[in-house]
Structure 1
Amino acid sequence: MTLGAEEELHLIDLERWQLAARAPQVLARLPKGNYSAEIQRTTVETNTEVVSTLDGLRSELLRLRSGLVDVAAREGLGVAAVGTAPRSEFRDFELTATGRYGRMQEQYRLLVDEQLICGTQIHVGVADRDLAVEITQRIAPRLPVLLALSASSPYWNGLDTGYASIRTIIWQRWPSAGATGPLPDAAAYDELLQDLIASGVIADAKMAYFDVRPSAHAPTLELRVCDACPLVDDAVLIAGLFRAMVRDAEREIEQGVPRGELRPLPLHRAAIWQAARGGLTGRLLDDSAHPRPLPAHEVVRGLVTDLRDVLEELGDWEEVGELVETALARGNSADRQRAAFVQHGDLADVMRSVVEETQGPASGPAIATPALRRYRTRAGDEGIDSNAVPRPNYRRVVEHIRGLGEAGVADREADRDRWATEHGFVFGVAGAQRPFEVDLVPRIVQPYEWAELEAGLTQRARAIEAFLDDVYGERRILRDGVLPEEAVLGAPGWRDDAQRLPGEALRAPIQGFDLVRNEYGGWRVLEDNVRNPSGVAYAIAVRQLMDQVLPDLPRPDHLADPATALEHLRRTVLAGAKPGTRGALLSTGEDASAWFEHRRLADGAGLLLAVAEDLEVRRGTVVQRSTGDRIGSLYLRIDVELPDLLDSSGRPIGAEIMDVTAAGGVTLVNAPGNGVADDKAMYRSVPELIGYYLGERPLLESVPTYRLGDETERQAVLERVGELVTKPVDGHGGRGVLIGPAADAAEVARRRVEIADDPAAWVAQEVVPLSSVPSLEDGLLQPRHVDLRAFVYATGHRRKDYLLADLALTRVAPDGSLVVNSSRGGGAKDTWIVLPEHRRSRARER
Structure 2
Amino acid sequence: MAAALTLGAEEELHLIDLERWQLAARAPQVLAKLPRENFSAEIQRTTVETNTDVVSSLDGLRQELLRLRRGAVEVAGRENLGIAAVGTAPRSEFRDFELTASGRYGRMQEQYRLLVDEQLICGTQIHVGVADRDLAVEITQRIANRLPVLLALSASSPYWNGLDTGYASIRTIIWQRWPSAGPTGPLPDSAAYDELLQDLIASGVIADAKMAYFDVRPSSHAPTLELRICDACPLVDDAVLIAGLFRALVRDAERGIEAGLPRGIRPLPLHRAAIWQAARGGLSGQLLDGSLHPRPLPARDAVRGLVTDLRDVLEELGDWEEVSELAETALARGNSADRQRAAFVQHGDLSDVMRSVVDETQGPASGPAPATPALRRYRARAGDEGVDANSVARPNYRGVVEHVRGLGADGIDGLETARDRWIADHGLDFGVDGAKQPFRVDLVPRLIAAHEWSELEAGLIQRARAVEAFLGDVYGERRILRDGVLPEEAVLGAPGWREEATRLPPGTLRAPIQGFDLVRNEYGGWRVLEDNLRNPSGAGYAIAVRQLMDAVAPDLPRPGRLADPATALEQLRRTVLAGAKPGTRGALLSSGDGSSAWFEHRRLADGAGLLLAAAEDLAVDRGTVVQRSTGDRIGSLYLRLDVELPDLVDGEGRPIGADIMDVAAAGGVTLVNAPGNGVADDKAMYRSVPELIGYYLSERPLLESVPTYRLSDEGERRAVLERVGELVTKPVDGHGGQGVLIGPAADAATVALRRVEIAQNPSGWVAQEVVALSSVPSIEDGRMQPRHVDLRAFVYATGRRRRDYVLADLALTRVAPEGSLVVNSSRGGGAKDTWIQLPEHDRSRPHHR
Normalising by structure 2, report the TM-score.
0.99
Match of 1:171 in 2: 175
Aligned match of 1:577: 580
Asked if structure 2 preserves the Cα contact closer than 8 Å seen for 1:728 and 1:763, the reply is: yes
Whichever residue aligns with residue 97 of structure 1, its letter is A
For 1:672, the equivalent position in structure 2 comes to 675
Cross-structure match for 1:824: 827
Cα distance in 2 for residues equivalent to 1:319 and 1:51? 16
Amino acid at match of 1:149: L
Q: For residues 825 and 845 of structure 1, do their structure 2 counterparts lie closer, same or farther at Cα, with a shift above 3 Å needed?
A: closer
Q: For residue 87 of structure 1, report the CA deviation from its aligned partner.
A: 0.2
Matches within 5 A, 1:345-744: 345-744=348-747
Q: CA deviation at 1:698?
A: 0.3
Matched-pair contact (CA < 8 Å) for 1:558–1:840 = no
Shift of 1:843: 2.6
The 10-residue stretch of structure 1 (251-260 or 422-431) with the greater mean CA deviation from structure 2: 251-260
Contact 2:561-2:848 within 8 A present in 1 as well: no
Aligned residue type for 2:41:
A
For structure 2, the residue ranges without an aligned partner over 5 or more in a row are none
Change (3 A) 1:844 1:534: closer
Deviation digits for residues 569-626 of structure 1 (CA, Å, limit 9, x no counterpart):
0000000000000000000001011000000000000000000010001111100000
Mapped contact 2:562–2:847 kept (Cα < 8 A): no
TM-score normalized by structure 1? 0.99
Q: Residue deviations 1:124-172, cap 9 Å, x none?
A: 0000000000000000001111000000000000000000000000000
Match of 2:86 in 1: 82
Could you tell me how far 1:836 is from its partner in structure 2?
A: 1.1
1:53-72 maps to which residues of 2 (within 5 A)?
Answer: 53-72=57-76
Deviations 1:738-784 (A, max 9, x none): 00000011110110000000000000000000000000001100000
Measured in 2, the distance between the counterparts of 1:416 and 1:505 equals 43
CA contact (8 A) 2:7 2:127 kept: yes
Contact 1:82 1:153 in 2 (8 A): yes
Per-residue displacement from partner, 1:609-657 (whole Å, max 9, x unpaired)? 0000100011111000000000000000011111111011111111111
Matched, 1:250 2:254: yes
Once the two structures are superposed, residues 476-527 of structure 1 have per-residue CA deviations (whole angstroms, 9 ceiling, x without a partner) of: 0000000000000000000000001011210000000000000000000000
1:514–1:525 contact (8 Å) kept in structure 2: yes
1:299 counterpart residue number: 302
> Cα–Cα, structure 1 residues 841 and 224, in superposed 2: closer, same or farther, change >3 Å?
same
The answer (yes or no) to whether the contact 2:505–2:665 under 8 Å persists in 1 is: yes
CA distance in 2, matches of 1:306, 1:534: 53
What SS is found at the alignment partner of 1:379? Answer: coil
Aligned pair partner of 2:26 in 22, 42, 67: 22
Report the alpha carbon displacement of residue 368 of structure 1 after superposing the two structures with TM. 2.3
Q: Is it true that 1:117 corresponds to 2:130 in the alignment? A: no
Q: Distance in 2 between matches of 1:498 and 1:631?
A: 20
Q: Does 1:197 align with 2:201?
A: yes
Distance 1:233 1:131 in 2: 29
SS in 2 for 1:775: strand
Q: CA deviation at 1:840?
A: 3.4
1:215 aligns with 2:219: yes
Following TM superposition, by how much is the alpha carbon of 1:845 offset from its aligned partner in structure 2, in angstroms?
14
Partner deviation per Cα, 1:350-399 (whole Å, 9 max, x = no partner): 00000000000000011120000000000000000011000000000011
Question: What SS does structure 2 have at the residue aligned with 1:837?
Answer: coil
Q: Shift of residue 844 of structure 1? A: 7.3
Superposition deviation, residue 254 in structure 1: 1.9
Aligned to 1:5: 9
Q: Following the alignment from structure 1 to structure 2, what is the Cα–Cα distance between the partners of residues 709 and 146?
A: 43
Which residue of structure 2 lines up, in the alignment, with residue 791 of structure 1?
Answer: 794
| 1:675-723 Cα distance to aligned partner (Å, 9 max, x none) | 0000000000000000000000000000000000000000000000000
Separation in 1 of the partners of 2:261 and 2:706?
48
Aligned with residue 35 of structure 1, among 20, 34, 39: 39
The counterpart of 1:44, out of the listed 45, 48, 72, is 48
Please say if residues 12 and 48 of structure 2, whose CA atoms lie closer than 8 Å, have aligned partners that are also in contact.
yes
Please give the alpha-carbon distance, in whole angstroms, between the structure 1 residues aligned to 2:311 and 2:321: 10
Partner letter of residue 120 of structure 1? T
2:137 aligned with 1:133, yes or no? yes
1:104 aligns with 2:108: yes
Letter of the 1:72 partner, please give it: A
1:63-107 residue CA offsets vs partner (Å, 9 max, x unmatched):
000000000000010000000000000000000000000000000
Are the aligned partners of 2:563 and 2:847 in contact in 1 as well (CA < 8 Å)? Answer: no
CA distance in 1, matches of 2:581, 2:207: 80
Give the equivalent residue in structure 2 for 1:320: 323
Pairwise CA distance, 1:822: 0.1
Q: Which of 140, 147, 161 matches 2:165?
A: 161
Deviation at 1:258, TM superposition (A): 2.9
- 1:782 and 2:808 correspond: no
- Kindly state the Cα deviation for residue 251 of structure 1 after the two structures are TM-superposed: 1.3
Mapped contact 2:796–2:808 kept (Cα < 8 A): yes
> CA–CA distance in 1 between the matches of 2:189 and 2:31?
39
User: How far, CA to CA, are the matches of 2:160 and 2:221 in structure 1?
Assistant: 32
Distance in 1 between the 2:117 and 2:74 partners? Answer: 29
Aligned length: 845
Tell me how far apart the structure 2 counterparts of residues 415 and 615 of structure 1 sit (CA, whole Å): 40
Determine if contact 2:796/2:807 at 8 Å carries over to the other structure.
yes
